[in-house]
Amino acid sequence: MPELPEVETIRRQLAREVKGSVILSADVRFGKRLNLPADRFAAAVRGARIQDVGRRAKLLVFTLSNGWTMVAHLKMTGRFLLKPEGAEPTKHTHVVFHLSGRRQLFFEDVRKFGFIRLFPSGEVEKAVFQKEKYGPEPLEPSFGFDRFAECLMKRASRRVKPSLMDQTCIAGIGNIYADESLWRAGVRPDRRISSLSPAELRKLYRGILTSFRESIKHHGTSADMYVDLYGRQGTYVRKLRVYGREGQRCYRCGGRIVKVRMGGRGTHFCPKCQK
């Protein structure tokens, strides 16, 4: 599933490319992952200008000029692709947005778990963000160490990795970056939060921010099907320290990376240097 760095990469590209564009029309080819009937959805976005493209956690948020806001979640295999007018959609294309400037924006999803939902702009906060109870955004200046530590210590009896992935604690961390951040901190993913020292908490905090910033710099991680707005793979996969490296040597200590199941998710760590 695309995590915060991948979604933020796409957000920045969308903001650069389509902010200010007018949606001339929308062709709904598969409407079961919309929250409105296909004809109502197409009518609601037709003629609207894209005023802004934002992000909350792993959601993309399109603010439209006509009082509607479009919220999209890529889930496992969703993607937005910018194409020239006349490009042919694939069998996995759910919606085609025809934009001013002779361009098209495809929303595709092989697994069909991703969705697009349309809300009156004044209702988005309550209907989406408050309902999901998202925690603080790691890329915001307000996400200081004290706030991070407070979020985790409220879950002191829980294991650290599942807590990092709890979107009500910290928004946007998924399986890849939980593993990577814990490796950077030298902390085993099955540690109880109460056992972490202040120094380990600070290393974990820095590990999260470093992993996110480096990944965004490399346009995300294409460990599976993720591609950016232009159909390009993210190159951070070559920078991963533990995720996807089962059986390989640890870059820090030379130990062997292992993979275990934790909370139903594959979890990678080095048992030699992660304590």
Cite the active site residues: 2-3, 58, 265
User: Cβ neighbours of residue 75 under 8 Å, at least 6 residues apart?
Assistant: 1, 109, 111, 113, 114, 115
Q: Residue holding tokens 């947005």?
A: 97
b/e per residue, 248-272, with b = 16+ CB within 10 A? eebeeeeeebbbeebeeeebbbbee
Return the structure tokens found at 103.
């361009």
Of 268, 145, 159, 163, give the one whose Cα is nearest residue 201: 145
Beta partners for residue 63, in sequence order: 52, 69
* Spatial contact of 128 and 119, defined as CB atoms under 8 Å apart: yes
